[in-house]
Structure 1
Amino acid sequence: MLNRKKWLLKGADRLLPWVRRVPFVVQRVALQQGLNRALAEPLRAGEFEVLRERWLCLRIPDIGVCWYLTLGDEGLRVAERATAHVTISGNWREFLLLASRQEDPDTLFFRRRLVIEGDTELGLALKNLIDSLDPDVLPVWLWRNLERAGKGLAAQ
């Protein structure tokens, strides 16, 4: 089983950089729809209001992508360029560990595996928001796959 997990992670290392070649309009539609569906409950509850009229830049240098997110009237919006109030940078593996709850966000930031630049107060508010989200708000299939992938990565 461990060999299979290593093989899958190596495959992800090779395939994920191809995301940067996907036209941005496709990335935007996929991200916006995916995030707004997956986070529908916390969005309805107003938990993302901290992003209204403010821009978060998510930078993933090892796959060569950078997305800008804000909260609009229709939910989370993704842009190719914006003036970021805060930037959170890290490699895809760190974001997977964070999303799957296999690594404590404070540990990732303290070890500089994830970096916050810009409005650190906004960055910390977003970090705390992400950390406070209950995995039950995600579709079951998504959470199971995130958790499985994160456990495989953490076991490496």
Structure 2
Amino acid sequence: MRSLPPFPPGLAKLGRRLPPALLSLHFTAGLALAQRCRWLEPPPELNGRRFAIDVSDLGLRCLFRCQDGQFRPYWGKTVDLELGAAAIDFFGLLRGEVDADTLFFQRRLRISGDTELGLLVKNWLDATERPAFLRSSPLS
């Protein structure tokens, strides 16, 4: 994976000022689009589970849940599983350039909460076929 310069530290301060509800709406809209395009289908074991994605270098935190096979924004405070990493590491996962185990053991991916659920999500994402446009991105 190509290394990019880090984001300016002030960007994380700005990101932390954005309302999580607004971020969660946009994030789940992206998940819903990926699902509609058949790029991402949640397994039934995710039903009723709550998640948080923390993009540390941008100060962004998105909360969502999976309900009846659909991704929905989540407005609560407690989650079943939280994943945290820098933006470039999440992009590497998204593109399939790096796997979650590698990032975890390099301490670049933080996982907290239900470890069994974390393993299920990791295996599901690893097995998901990436669309061609992600595999041939100009970041290569």
- Would the TM-score normalized by the shorter structure come out above 0.5? yes
Q: Distance in 2 between matches of 1:84 and 1:135?
A: 26
Does structure 1 residue 49 correspond to structure 2 residue 39? no
Which residue identity lines up with residue 128 of structure 1 in the other structure? N
Spell out the pairing of 1:1-156 with structure 2 (5 A cutoff). 9-10=4-5, 13-14=7-8, 17=12, 18-40=14-36, 41=38, 42-43=40-41, 47-73=42-68, 75-136=70-131, 140-141=132-133, 143=134, 147-149=137-139, 151=140
Unpaired stretches in structure 1, ≥5 consecutive residues = 152-156
Structure 2 match to 1:154: none
**What's the TM-score once normalised by structure 1's chain length?**
0.71
Q: Distance in 1 between matches of 2:21 and 2:112?
A: 26
Larger Rg: 1
**What's the TM-score once normalised by structure 2's chain length?**
0.77
Cα shift at 1:61: 2.0
Unpaired stretches in structure 2, ≥5 consecutive residues = none
Where has structure 1 moved over 4 Å in runs of 4 or more?
Answer: none
- RMSD of aligned C-alpha atoms? 2.7
Report the number of matched residues: 135
